[in-house]
């Protein structure tokens, strides 16, 4: 059973078409990294899943049921953009209000548990408006987790966080995922996403252009041969004549993306009078992979 199954989703905002037949499959228990550039349709898709906006066409099923069903919505936790909290109320009061809204029994125990999970137990008496961005994001996640939802939808939850905030958020999400909660998380910070996501969906121009698992990403077309030489530009030019994709990275390494062994490259360059000081196989990051896909490579 898939946690989320979207088929042919469309959304028009007056004259602009935000989604043009987007398909998406999120398996149960996955941490689904939802990637795409600004305006590609990530937030729109997430808002439709959560029921904040209507779709213009297509179908959205959550755990096999239409996403508009109340019983399905009871199983969802959401953090879209910033958390919806009353600024003058304390963190505790905001949490308790949401627990009341959800008719949670033993609300206090549940709120304490969630605040502990997001490492916010010591700041419950702080006014929401006085919390830092990172704290607010964690409060948003804690609120989304009230009622033990089976599906968590997070829109850019790590934006604006410092390194420590990102680490805490990462740990929190992994903890949540261990309980079997499915998480859809959109983010621009692909380095962070790469550390936790089990599945990926790349969206462009309102369409899903690629969906894959983390293993597929790992084992797929992500390897290259990197070499260091004193004659970088000549080596690049020579290799460029022989192989289809050769690039120089920021650190001055020449990268050969073709399926070729290091020995072949060493021999070829040696025959052309170029000595290599360093050579090895490496993998491109999610960010680089994403850029490749966006540029149609």
Q: By the criterion CB under 8 A, which residues form the site for other proteins? A: 1, 28, 47, 50-54, 63-65, 69-76, 78, 80-87, 89, 97-98, 100-103, 143, 147, 150
Q: Residues 41, 55: contact at Cβ < 8 Å? A: no
Question: C-beta of 123: minimal distance to other proteins in Å?
Answer: 19
Cβ proximity to other proteins: between 70 and 241 the closer is 70
What gap in Å lies between CA 240 and CA 243, rounded to an integer?
Answer: 5
Q: Residues 186, 34: contact at Cβ < 8 Å? A: yes
Nearest to 8 by CA among 22, 24, 27: 22
Burial of 295 (C-beta count, 10 Å sphere; 0-12/13-18/19+): exposed
Cβ proximity to other proteins: between 87 and 220 the closer is 87
What gap in Å lies between CA 148 and CA 223, rounded to an integer?
Answer: 40
Cβ proximity to other proteins: between 19 and 202 the closer is 19
Hey, is 172 helix, strand or coil? helix
Cβ proximity to other proteins: between 64 and 280 the closer is 64
Helix-strand-coil split of the chain, %, nearest 5: 40, 30, 35
Question: C-beta of 87: minimal distance to other proteins in Å?
Answer: 6
Question: C-beta of 212: minimal distance to other proteins in Å?
Answer: 23
Helices and strands of the chain, counted as H and E runs: 11, 14
Question: C-beta of 159: minimal distance to other proteins in Å?
Answer: 16
Question: C-beta of 144: minimal distance to other proteins in Å?
Answer: 8
Cβ proximity to other proteins: between 148 and 232 the closer is 148
């Amino acid at each position: 059973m898939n946690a989320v199954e979207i088929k042919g989703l469309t959304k028009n905002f007056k004259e602009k078409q935000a989604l043009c037949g987007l398909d998406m499959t999120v398996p149960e228990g996955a941490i689904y990294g939802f990637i795409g550039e600004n305006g590609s349709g990530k937030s729109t898709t997430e808002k439709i899943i959560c029921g904040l906006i209507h779709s213009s066409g297509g179908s959205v099923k959550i755990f096999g049921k239409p996403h508009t069903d109340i019983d399905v919505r009871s199983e969802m936790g959401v953090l879209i953009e910033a958390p919806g909290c009353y600024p003058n109320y304390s963190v505790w009061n905001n949490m308790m209000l949401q627990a009341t809204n959800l008719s949670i029994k033993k609300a206090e125990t549940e709120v304490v548990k969630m605040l502990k999970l997001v490492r916010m137990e010591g700041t419950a008496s702080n006014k929401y408006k006085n919390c830092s961005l990172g704290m607010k994001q964690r409060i948003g996640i804690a609120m989304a987790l009230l009622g033990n939802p089976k599906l968590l939808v997070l829109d850019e939850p790590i934006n604006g966080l410092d390194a420590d905030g990102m680490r805490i958020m990462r740990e929190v999400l992994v903890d949540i995922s261990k309980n079997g909660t499915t998480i859809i998380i959109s983010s621009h910070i692909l380095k962070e996403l790469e550390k936790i996501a089990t599945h990926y969906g790349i969206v462009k121009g309102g369409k899903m252009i690629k969906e894959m698992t983390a293993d597929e990403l790992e084992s797929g077309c992500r390897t290259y041969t990197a070499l260091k030489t004193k004659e970088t530009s000549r080596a690049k030019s020579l290799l460029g004549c022989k192989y289809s994709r050769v690039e120089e990275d920021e650190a001055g390494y020449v990268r050969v993306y073709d399926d070729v062994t290091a020995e072949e490259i060493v021999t070829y360059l040696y025959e052309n009078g170029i000595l290599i000081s360093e050579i090895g196989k490496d993998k491109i990051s999610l960010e680089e992979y994403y850029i490749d896909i966006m540029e149609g490579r």
